Structure 1
Amino acid sequence: MSKDKTAHAASVAATPSSHTAEAFASTQAAQDTIDFIEIDEVLTLRRMIVRAPTPKGPVLFLHGFPETLTVWKEIATTLAHDYDVHAFDWPGYGQSSRPASERFSYAPRAYARVLKAYIERAGIDRSKLVIYATDIGALPVLLLALDEPTIARQIIVGDFAPFDRPHHMWENLQNLKAEPTASPTRAYMNKTSDEILQNVHRRGLSPAEQFDLRIDVQQDMIRSWSRDGVTSADAFAHYYASFTRDQQYLEANLDRLKTPMKVIWGEKDIYITKEMGIEFAGKIGAKLDLLPGIGHFPHLQNPKQTAEEIIASFR
């Protein structure tokens, strides 16, 4: 690891993860760490771990686009006394590796292999593990669960596209699924990165429902947009290049999905509409919570509610 990486990890770890000094102090008491873990010769992930003094079990959070692991810090603070909390930056995001697409595909299936390797290398107890995955993080964990139903005691997913249903997706997401629209959409996203990072979490919400990101989250997303010649939009586009294939594989194999599941969806999500969540929950027989007044980022709009979902999953 470079000295720059080490210095940055230390600066992020030192950033308060809550709006209050009291909540920050509770996290420190539970020993929070941000460091790097090598997955293979190509990939190294930045990760955050909060270790509780006497943990009831581990929690693993999987972020979406264009996020980084910092989006989970406030929730980790809330859970700090009772649960070990893990989060990492997906390849192409945050401070994790960004290899050329010839060396790593960024496909959902490839992310599933990264997830499996992380759980193994981090020594996480699967029998007690709860995985909370949103957006691009959700399909990989489901693909992994097809082959390894004991990967977790429960998986919570939401606000993602499990099936190939473009009509339930934001126009730019539809356009990323195939050429000739994929390449110009990728270029447009890179050109308008400032606007995306400023407003992606506000779209579809009324002025009264809109919210600001914490400064540390905003700064980390901006700082991490482009590294090593690869932007987060590039990684997102590579993901979408194989998205339809992996969606279709999941739908064709739903009968193999045996891990206990729960589905959570922002009722006002305009990127992936609630109809997608309703269909998915119905097909797998899972409980669905539609969150009124909530958009595509429930964990950012109402982190307290997300923490309560995790706590409830351990009861």
Structure 2
Amino acid sequence: MSKDKTANAASAAATPFSHTSEAFASTQAVQDAADFIEIDQILTLRRMIVRAHAPKGTVLFLHGFPETLMVWKGIATTLARDYDVHAFDWPGYGQSSRPDLNRFSYAPKEYARVLKAYIERAGIDRSKLVIYATDIGALPVLLLALDEPTIARQIIVGDFAPFDRPQYMWENLQNLKAEPTASPTRAYMNKTSDEILQNVHRRGLSPAEQFDLRIDVQQDMIRSWSRDGVTSADAFAHYYANFTRDQHYLEANLDRLKTPMKVIWGEKDIYIAREMGIEFAGKIGVKLDVLPGTGHFPHLQNSKQTVEEIRTSFR
């Protein structure tokens, strides 16, 4: 894997020959498109860029907990026929930096700053950009959009907690929001990391609806759980330590949210109930698309649906 901290990743395109050769070329393109980009003196992000021959626009994917950029690999392969596709690991996840808490707060507002810096350093044309953000990736992009409504031509968000409504959240997530329950919950998540990585995407789904992760995605999440003395659960807990503050800020400033928006939600999301999505979509005046039989990870459970959401955004 090359490590280029300043330049764009090497471009790669999916060139249609036979279906078999196209799939091979696309998979190789994704592997070759991973590199590193420096955001500032303390943050370096692992990123993936897959480029189209004649891009109609750019897609930027923002992952959630406990994911890494590898969850977008298959979707990027498909979309790269028409669009340049970007994804990166948030600080504290994947192979990106994991600074000490004294140097980086891991707060949603801090992630918004990271997102802005990435878009600028990657040289992305905002007028042709669609951002797809899920889980912990959604609040940061909305916070950024408050100040910069032209950050993208459209933002797609879903399965996250824009407002401070603990009653719509899974119990462990409620517990992370404040002490005295936050620290024991963080410790429990670290202790049970194997179970989380194995089953987080299955919870709330019937046996017939449950699915397995691709082995490369699973392995990357396992390898990336703990690095430089910080686990993904640690980063998640630090995020939640500032979560309520940043939720309140978003809700108090919703009238400044002018970027075209789309909201989607898994019908069977047990982590963040769809009532949260209903309230958010209603307050910003957009339609909520509830995905039948789908849990908290629509992009993993039904990648074809995610691809179609993106294509529709460019029409």
Q: Distance in 2 between matches of 1:26 and 1:242?
A: 39
Q: Distance in 1 between matches of 2:27 and 2:74?
A: 9
Check conservation: 1:30, 1:80, Cα contact below 8 A: no
Identity across aligned pairs (percent)?
90
TM-score (norm 2): 0.93
Q: 1:91-106 alignment to 2 at 5 Å? A: 91-106=91-106
Q: 1:149-160 alignment to 2 at 5 Å? A: 149-160=149-160
Cα shift at 1:80: 1.1
State the match for 2:230 in structure 1: 230
Cα shift at 1:286: 1.4
Gap runs ≥5 in structure 2 = 11-18
Check conservation: 1:35, 1:46, Cα contact below 8 A: yes
Check conservation: 1:205, 1:268, Cα contact below 8 A: yes
2:299 maps to a residue whose letter is: H
Cα shift at 1:287: 2.0
DSSP 3-state at the match of 2:59: strand
Q: 1:181-192 alignment to 2 at 5 Å? A: 181-192=181-192
Q: Distance in 2 between matches of 1:191 and 1:284?
A: 39
1:141 pairs with 2:141? yes
State the match for 2:293 in structure 1: 293
Query: Using a 3 Å threshold, how does the CA distance of structure 1 residues 191 and 21 change in structure 2: closer, same or farther?
Result: farther
Deviation larger for 25-34 or 185-194: 25-34
Structure 1 vs Structure 2 CA RMSD: 2.0
Q: 1:36-115 alignment to 2 at 5 Å? A: 36-115=36-115
Check conservation: 1:32, 1:51, Cα contact below 8 A: no
Gap runs ≥5 in structure 1 = 11-18
Cα shift at 1:150: 0.2
Encode CA deviations 1:218-248: one digit per residue, 9 max, x unaligned. 0000000000000000000000000000000
Q: Distance in 2 between matches of 1:212 and 1:24?
A: 22
Q: Distance in 2 between matches of 1:129 and 1:99?
A: 29
1:261 pairs with 2:265? no
Check conservation: 1:31, 1:52, Cα contact below 8 A: no
Q: Distance in 2 between matches of 1:307 and 1:112?
A: 24
Deviation larger for 29-38 or 114-123: 29-38
State the match for 2:15 in structure 1: none
Q: Distance in 1 between matches of 2:31 and 2:216?
A: 19
DSSP 3-state at the match of 1:304: helix
Query: Using a 3 Å threshold, how does the CA distance of structure 1 residues 51 and 158 change in structure 2: closer, same or farther?
Result: same
Q: Distance in 2 between matches of 1:241 and 1:29?
A: 38
DSSP 3-state at the match of 2:85: strand
Check conservation: 1:152, 1:259, Cα contact below 8 A: yes
Check conservation: 2:2, 2:35, Cα contact below 8 A: no
Query: Using a 3 Å threshold, how does the CA distance of structure 1 residues 183 and 282 change in structure 2: closer, same or farther?
Result: same
Cα shift at 1:26: 3.8
Cα shift at 1:81: 1.1
Moved over 6 A (4+): none
Cα shift at 1:22: 3.9
State the match for 1:309 in structure 2: 309
DSSP 3-state at the match of 1:124: coil
State the match for 1:240 in structure 2: 240
Q: Distance in 2 between matches of 1:303 and 1:23?
A: 16
Query: Using a 3 Å threshold, how does the CA distance of structure 1 residues 271 and 52 change in structure 2: closer, same or farther?
Result: same
